[in-house]
């Protein structure tokens, strides 16, 4: 006991303190969502009353299309996740296995583009999509398909490099055996690479979904109409203005919006560890 008190007690105390520090913001948001005051200020650490007024406001107030915001976020994030996996995996396979003119230059340009912060390109993206709107209003500024294209363009570089590292770790003997059996490059991709790359593809889809679902700056810049907004942009109206510091509905909406992310994260949990380390060691 004395040895444990001297050597291990302080480690446990530090661990508990770090956990409490990390969980306190989440506790504050949960308590605020059940508070009728609409404020983040707590009169006591344990609330004396629990109110569902904030949740009722989200679902019953006709001026707050909360469910539409959530549907928009799920649709955009899901589309980005699926298309990122499809385009990224095909591009990574091509850069890793195929030999064509400009392959080395192309992969180096992808790496070079990723070295610059994406925030620097917002002004340029805004001007480009504004001009696109003049001849193609369906995919221009202020539309969800246009925002989807911008998200895909920004995520391709990272995803391709991550997936290429995994493809490089797959033995080339598998490709040669498939060619001997008469398989084409497309068949090799679908029958060999995709089954082996399931963990890293799940990680790419998960990271793309979470990043797009939580993204605010581009969504706020593109989506102006109330009905087309994502949940991140829609909830910002509760706290964005000088006289709209209503943290109760904001906290309630944030908690409800996090449920799909938690479900997807738990569903793909078995792929996360293996997928994140995939391609780190070649062999």
Query: What is residue 249's predicted lDDT score, i.e. its pLDDT?
Result: 86
pLDDT surpasses 70 at 280 = no
C-alpha angle 230-62-221 in degrees, rounded to nearest 5: 25
| Cα(48)–Cα(72) distance, integer angstroms | 36
Mean pLDDT rounded to a whole number for the chain:
82
Mean pLDDT of 251-263: 88
The proportion of the chain whose per-residue pLDDT surpasses 90, expressed as a percent, equals: 9
Query: What is residue 72's predicted lDDT score, i.e. its pLDDT?
Result: 92
Query: What is residue 109's predicted lDDT score, i.e. its pLDDT?
Result: 82
Query: What is residue 78's predicted lDDT score, i.e. its pLDDT?
Result: 92
| Cα(88)–Cα(164) distance, integer angstroms | 9
pLDDT surpasses 50 at 115 = yes
Lowest-confidence pick of 32-46, 63-77, 108-122, 123-137 = 32-46
Lowest-confidence pick of 28-32, 130-134, 266-270 = 266-270
Max avg pLDDT among 119-123, 154-158, 189-193, 239-243: 189-193
Bigger pLDDT: 176 or 270? 176
Separation in Å, CA 170 to CA 12, 110, 117, 173, 204 = 42, 22, 31, 9, 18
Return contacts of 61-64, CB within 8 angstroms, 24+ apart. Answer: 64/234, 64/249
Q: In 190-229, which residue ranges form alpha helices assigned H by DSSP?
A: 194-196, 198-214, 217-222
CB contact at 8 A, 142 and 224: yes
Query: What is residue 73's predicted lDDT score, i.e. its pLDDT?
Result: 92
pLDDT surpasses 90 at 75 = yes
pLDDT surpasses 50 at 245 = yes
Lowest-confidence pick of 3-12, 62-71, 79-88, 252-261 = 3-12
Domains annotated on the chain, with CATH: 2-58 (no CATH), 64-277 (1.10.3720.10)
Mean pLDDT of 140-157: 83
pLDDT surpasses 90 at 74 = yes
Mean pLDDT of 36-57: 75
Query: What is residue 261's predicted lDDT score, i.e. its pLDDT?
Result: 87
Separation in Å, CA 64 to CA 13, 35, 54, 79 = 44, 19, 12, 24
Mean pLDDT of 31-45: 73
CB contact at 8 A, 250 and 64: no
């Amino acid at each position: 006991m004395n040895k444990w008190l001297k050597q291990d007690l302080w480690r446990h105390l530090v661990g508990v303190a770090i956990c409490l520090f990390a969980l306190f913001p989440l506790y504050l948001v949960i308590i605020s969502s059940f508070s009728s005051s609409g404020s983040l200020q707590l009169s006591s650490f344990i609330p004396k009353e629990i109110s569902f007024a904030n949740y009722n406001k989200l679902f019953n107030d006709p001026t707050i299309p909360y469910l539409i915001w959530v549907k928009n976020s799920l649709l955009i994030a899901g589309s980005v996740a699926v298309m990122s996996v499809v385009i990224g995996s095909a591009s990574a396979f091509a850069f890793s296995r195929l030999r064509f003119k400009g392959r080395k230059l192309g992969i180096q340009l992808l790496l070079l583009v990723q070295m610059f912060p994406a925030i620097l390109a917002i002004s340029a993206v805004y001007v480009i999509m504004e001009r696109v709107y003049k001849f193609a209003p369906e995919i221009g500024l202020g539309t969800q398909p246009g925002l989807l294209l911008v998200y895909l363009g920004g995520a391709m570089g990272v995803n391709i490099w991550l997936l290429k590292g995994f493809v490089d770790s797959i033995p080339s003997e598998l490709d040669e055996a498939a060619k001997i059996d008469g398989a084409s490059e497309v068949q090799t991709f679908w029958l060999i690479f995709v089954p082996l790359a399931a963990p890293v593809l799940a990680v790419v889809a998960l990271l793309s979904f979470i990043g797009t679902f939580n993204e605010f700056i581009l969504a706020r810049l593109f989506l102006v109409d109330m009905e087309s907004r994502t949940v991140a942009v829609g909830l910002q109206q509760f706290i964005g203005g000088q006289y709209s510091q209503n943290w109760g509905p904001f906290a309630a909406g944030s908690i409800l919006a996090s449920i799909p992310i938690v479900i997807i994260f738990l569903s793909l949990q078995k792929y996360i560890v293996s997928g994140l380390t995939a391609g780190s060691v070649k062999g």
